[in-house]
């Protein structure tokens, strides 16, 4: 038997229902953009296929590529607009920021129960998110003090870490917690995130199905798939070695 010593949580769609807010923000960005540029309309499926779990600018570039559109990358300081990949990404960030302020954020109750259970069992915990809004979201959800280790889009940029589906950000979180990747659980709702967990050789990859589909999450690397983290308890920290990957 192997005992897992850390749990690494994605944020949007895992700890907080902000994935739904992000989905609406992307729709506000690319819905009108698609009409104005005469390309196939942006749909709900585009979020899961091209954007979900990726760093923001990578999501913009992937969606544009799906429509045969190529823009200069630009720089992160580009003003929100449409002239570059970064400008579009910054416009999306502007939209979602207004939504957070207007609507507030509540964490998933089941996720909080699971967080309580694994921390009570002595596991280290971290948040690993592509979002640069992570500190704001954690504070708004009342979770900031629960996580001493946060590896988000800001950390990834500063430390030149590749974003999901590369495992780099999750590996960095494990390192900061002082555990080997084989001793850590990755908890993700995005295809790119579970793929990162599998690629990084983590001890267990838990998929949370918020709409992408349980089978899709399994195909990309999830060992366990649940609809809500409240279905799990600290028993997830004990796995039967290689038998976890079935």
Q: Which residues are catalytic?
A: 10, 12
Q: Which residue shows structure tokens 């296929």? A: 49
Name the pairing type of β-strands 2-3 and 149-151.
Answer: unpaired
Three-class secondary structure of residue 240 per DSSP:
coil
CB 152 within 8 A of CB 134: yes
CA-based nearest residue to 173, from 207, 134, 219: 134
CB 5 within 8 A of CB 124: yes
How far, rounded to the nearest angstrom, does the alpha carbon of residue 103 sit from its chain's CA centroid? 20
Cα separations in angstroms, 5 against 144, 232, 236: 21, 16, 11
Rounded Cα–Cα distance for residues 115 and 63 (Å): 33
Rounded CA-CA distance 59/52 in Å is: 7
Pair 199, 179: CB distance under 8 Å: no
Neighbours of 114 (CB within 10 A): 27
């Amino acid at each position: 038997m192997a005992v897992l010593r850390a749990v690494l949580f994605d944020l949007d769609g895992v700890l907080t229902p902000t994935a739904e807010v992000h989905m609406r923000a992307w729709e506000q960005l690319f819905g009108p953009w698609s009409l104005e540029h005469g390309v196939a309309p942006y749909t709900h499926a585009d979020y899961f296929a091209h954007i979900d779990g990726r760093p923001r600018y990578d999501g913009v570039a992937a969606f544009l590529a799906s429509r045969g559109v190529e823009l200069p990358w630009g720089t992160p300081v580009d003003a929100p607009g449409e002239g570059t990949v970064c400008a579009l990404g910054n416009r999306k960030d502007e939209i979602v920021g207004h939504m957070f302020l207007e609507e507030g954020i509540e964490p998933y109750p089941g996720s909080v129960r699971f967080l309580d259970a694994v921390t009570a069992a002595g596991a280290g915990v971290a948040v690993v998110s592509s979002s640069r809004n992570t500190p704001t979201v954690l504070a708004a959800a009342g979770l900031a003090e629960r996580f001493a280790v946060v590896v988000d889009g800001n950390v990834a940029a500063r430390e030149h870490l590749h974003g999901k589906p590369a495992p780099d950000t999750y590996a960095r979180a494990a390192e900061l917690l002082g555990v080997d990747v084989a001793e850590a659980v990755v908890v993700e709702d995005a295809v790119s995130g579970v793929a990162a967990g599998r690629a990084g050789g983590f001890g267990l990859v838990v998929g949370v199905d918020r709409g992408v589909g349980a089978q899709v999450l399994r195909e990309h690397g999830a060992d366990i798939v649940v609809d809500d983290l409240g279905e799990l308890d600290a028993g997830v920290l004990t796995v039967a070695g290689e038998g976890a990957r079935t």
